[in-house]
Amino acid sequence: MALRAKTPEAKSKRIKMMMFSPAGIGKTTAAIGFPNAVIIDMERGTDMYHDSIAKVGSVVFQTTNPDDVKEEIKALMTEKHPFTTIIIDPVTILYGAIQEKWTRIFSKYADTEKQTELQDFGFRYWAKVKSDYKAIMRMLLQCDLNVILTAHQKDLYGEGMKKVGLGSDSMRGDEHIFDYIFQLTMDAKNRRMAVTRKERAEIGKNKFPSEFEWGYKNFLIYYGKDALERETTPIPLATPEQVAEVKRLLGIVKVDETFEAECLTKADVDTWEEMTQEKIQKTVDFLTKKLTGGTK
């Protein structure tokens, strides 16, 4: 079989970042400085900033329903629109809302009253919570938009419950997902400062200094206008017809029992519906050829 690896090419990549701070620093104010944004406001933090938001061409969607959040991201990902940035403010509330959603479901179908009272639903519960949350994160990473997630700040503890630092109050592992993690602080001159806690970059080619004054103008300088402001390209997801066809073919074509799981894993999705039209069509074409004897 021919080698499939190839030399990587430089890409103008959207910025994908999370920023956290304690209350009072102004996470919402910091985030809404990005223009042409869709702000998913999960704790009504934008109520006092309607003039500032309208001035930079941004819009607000207020909700605490994680399914609504997913549908809004899906629309931004797949449809043509003038926006270049999506903001979730804060992701802490989103993660909590997903837990509440599955707590209600598991409570409804709990085996015992004690299980409902203790809300001790075990591995299956947490698997559903993580699956829901990660599906949203995958869409954010895949969409052709800048992504800003704000988060509450929390203390981090190590062995023996010894405090080891500060971090974002979100799902464990979030710090590995995003290219950039910033901690917001206020300096002696009452300036909102960003401490760069994480940056994915070539060795010696970091875009951001270790600390800088937060502001969209500085992001234009450090990250680049083209990457931040270029026109958004929709990424169409699988159509209902494609999903129906791949399921039909799987019912009649002889494939290894791990085939479906391998396809979904390779595409980094949980369901066929989350796959892009291009990727699911390749699966349909493969199965069709196999059905007609063109692929062994």
- The string of pLDDT tens digits covering residues 190-246 is 999 999 999 998 888 999 999 999 999 999 999 999 999 999 999 999 999 999 999
Give strand pairing partners of 38.
Answer: 59, 86
**Tell me, what's the pLDDT at 9?**
67
Global pTM value = 0.88
Assign 57 to helix, strand or coil.
coil
In this predicted structure, what is the pLDDT of residue 240? 95
**Torsion angle of C-alpha atoms 234, 235, 240, 244, degrees rounded to 10:** 160
pLDDT the model gives residue 63: 96
Residue 105 CA neighbour count, 13 Å, CB half? 11
Collapsing DSSP to helix, strand or coil, 272 comes out as: helix
- In angstroms, the CA 119 to CA 100 distance is 11
Q: Under DSSP, is residue 162 helix (H, G, I), strand (E, B) or coil?
A: coil
Q: Is the dihedral of CA 92, 93, 98, 101 positive or negative?
A: positive
10, 139, 251, 290 alpha-carbon torsion, rounded to 10°: -10
User: β-pairing, 211-213 with 192-199?
Assistant: antiparallel
Pairwise CA distance, residues 284 & 275, whole Å: 12
CB 85 within 8 A of CB 148: yes
**Which residues of the chain are modeled with pLDDT < 50?**
none
| Measured distance CA(156)–CA(166) in Å, rounded | 5
pLDDT at residue 115, rounded to an integer: 58
The reported pLDDT for the residue numbered 34 is: 97
Alpha helices in the chain (DSSP H): 27-31, 50-55, 66-78, 91-108, 113-118, 122-142, 174-177, 216-223, 225-229, 240-252, 259-267, 277-291
Return d(Cα 14, Cα 147) in angstroms, integer.
Answer: 8
pLDDT at 191: 94
Domains of the chain (ranges; CATH) run 16-229 (3.40.50), 240-291 (no CATH)
The pLDDT of residue 71 is 95
pLDDT given at position 113: 60
Question: What is the rounded distance in angstroms from the CA atom of residue 267 to the CA atom of residue 289?
Answer: 20
Cβ proximity of 215 and 223 under 8 Å? no
